[in-house]
A and B are shown apart, each in its own frame.
Chain A
Amino acid sequence: GAGVSQSPSNKVTEKGKDVELRCDPISGHTALYWYRQSLGQGLEFLIYFQGNSAPDKSGLPSDRFSAERTGGSVSTLTIQRTQQEDSAVYLCASSLNLLSPSDEQFFGPGTRLTVL
């Protein structure tokens, strides 16, 4: 596709269930980022990938959160044993190359996660 896509667009789940969020970056973009945005709040950085490697996992809120990227393309963010405080919009972005600071990030539309 032409832009970053995310699926699902909305996810409602029960507390304690696991969820998987998917991000398809722009073709050819080597850098991929995950953020979380709670209602009316700013961006909370979660994790980024250069290729399939995640050099910095310090933003993940707890060990219930994990992410992977395969083939230098699609990424999945997994939240295990979801809690109500995990409810937020999860944003994915990609950029051409982490080693080129002038490259902008392109954002997907987000996945709105609601934990009941």
Chain B
Amino acid sequence: GNSVTQMEGPVTLSEEAFLTINCTYTATGYPSLFWYVQYPGEGLQLLLKATKADDKGSNKGFEATYRKETTSFHLEKGSVQVSDSAVYFCALSNYGQNFVFGPGTRLSVLP
């Protein structure tokens, strides 16, 4: 079946530090991959997505590249801000099947 594994949190960084949140997946066929973000007190919203191998999704300075050879979709940002403090969820969607979410990684950025 389909599954998503994320690095365990919480992750605490200082402002302007480099961020990587690892995400790997197991799936048959050609799933689409997503990162969702949940800011404190808010609902989940899409951060970025990639629909085929080698695609790079990007938004708000965040990037993730769909790597089929390593079944990964790691989230990166070169310089985090306090406002990036949130919970980040990696997810996949496969043809005709339900979305699968990872457990979430809580990021705290300190000034």
Contacts and interface: CB of A to CB of B under 8 A. Distances in A.
B99 interface: yes
Chain A, interface SS category: loop
22 contacts: A33-B98, A33-B99, A35-B101, A41-B104, A42-B102, A43-B89, A45-B99, A91-B43, A91-B44, A93-B44, A95-B99, A98-B97, A98-B98, A101-B32, A101-B94, A102-B49, A102-B51, A104-B49, A105-B99, A107-B36, A107-B43, A107-B45
A91 B36 CA distance: 14
Contacts of B102: 42
B104 A43 contact: yes
Given A42-B89, A101-B32, A106-B46, 4 more contacts: A42-B103, A104-B46, A105-B36, A107-B45
B96 A99 contact: yes
Interface string B80-111: 00000000010101111111111110000000
Contacts of A103: 93
Nearest to A59: B98
Name the interface size band of chain B: 20 to 34
Nearest to B98: A48
Interface in A22-42: 33, 35, 41-42
Interface of A: 33, 35, 41-43, 45, 48, 56, 91, 93, 95, 98-99, 101-110
Given A91-B43, A109-B43, A98 B96 contact: yes
A93 B46 CA distance: 12
A91 B101 CA distance: 13
Interface in B35-60: 36, 43-46, 49, 51
A104 B37 CA distance: 13
Contact of A104 (B34, B89, B95, B96): B34
B93 A108 contact: no
B33 to A, nearest CB: 10
A101 B43 contact: no
B32 A102 contact: yes
A22 to B, nearest CB: 16
A115 B64 CA distance: 40
